[in-house]
A and B are shown apart, each in its own frame.
Chain A
Amino acid sequence: MERVPILKIGSILLVSIQVDMSDQTAVQLQEDLAERIVATGAHGVLIDITALDIVDSFVGRMLSTIASISKVLDAETVVVGMRPAVAITLVELGLSLNGIRTALNVERGMELIAAARDDDQDLDEDEDDAGPDGGPATETTASR
């Protein structure tokens, strides 16, 4: 059985799926990722599906599960590079990929993970800053 490699870049785990995965390979990836998040203390998981020419309900469910697991382990999951034809098909199939954040490419995905991290830190900073400024800073939630 083929195994999808997981790369660690800084505090982010990068998974670039390059093969047509069997269901077993997908399940294996899900397990491997959970272990690697804990082992590395990564705070972000980037799954690049640029090379995938289809995403069916099984892979869709795997992506959702990975997102949920990583959330529990305090890591943000972003799926990047979904092809237009794949997105159109998923809409028709009725799969909404709930709970998964997506970005157009790896670069934007990285920004998204960094922004999610910043938001956490901003809250900390804002709490610290609140005193001297004479009031709590208002945090506007950006749409992305």
Chain B
Amino acid sequence: MTVGVDLGQPQTQEVRADEDVVRVRQLVRAVAVAVKLSLVDQTKLVTAASELARNTLVYGGGGTVDVMTADNGRRRGVRIVFADSGPGIADLDLALTDGYTTGGGLGLGLSGARRLVDEFEIDTAAGQGTRITVTKWSR
């Protein structure tokens, strides 16, 4: 975790079904509006959250999404943690390559989401589940 970042109380959304991905988008949008991200940054963050929440559901077999405000003293932002206890990712480099997919998608979820946020941390190993932390700061 980055040093010197104040985090707000997390709001948690379970991701068990298709509709939960919609709920994650709505929750992220609400928090992004509250910390006054610009419209383009809101859109980027919600899109990234949509991709990652879908991954949690499809590849991780469901999990949880925690959304919280963040403050590094200079700027406010939103931090989101996607956690599942699924099979994990065996080859991270490969998974982060544009166009690589095991699920029949476009293979842009992970790599694309990383480009849409300011900070992207991933903690995974085969059989260990996956935990992705992303942060977007206001300009």
Contact = CB atoms under 8 A, between A and B. Distances in A.
A95 B106 contact: yes
A56 B51 contact: yes
Interface in B37-52: 39-40, 42-44, 46-47, 50-51
A100 B44 CA distance: 22
Interface string A79-112: 0000111101100111100000000000000000
Nearest to A22: B18
A83 B54 CA distance: 23
Contacts of B44: 88-89, 92
A40 interface: no
A56 B58 CA distance: 15
A94 B21 CA distance: 21
Given A53-B29, A92-B44, A58 B22 contact: no
A86 B43 contact: yes
A118 to B, nearest CB: 34
Contact of A57 (B18, B19, B26, B112): B112
A55 B46 CA distance: 10
A39 to B, nearest CB: 27
B25 interface: yes
Interface of B: 18-19, 21-22, 25-26, 29, 39-40, 42-44, 46-47, 50-51, 54, 98, 105-106, 108-109, 111-113, 115-116
25 contacts: A53-B29, A54-B25, A54-B43, A54-B47, A54-B50, A55-B47, A57-B51, A57-B108, A57-B109, A58-B50, A61-B106, A85-B39, A85-B42, A85-B43, A88-B40, A88-B43, A89-B47, A92-B115, A93-B108, A93-B113, A93-B115, A94-B98, A95-B106, A95-B108, A95-B112
List the 5 closest A-B pairs by CB distance, nearest first.
A93-B112, A85-B43, A56-B50, A22-B18, A57-B108
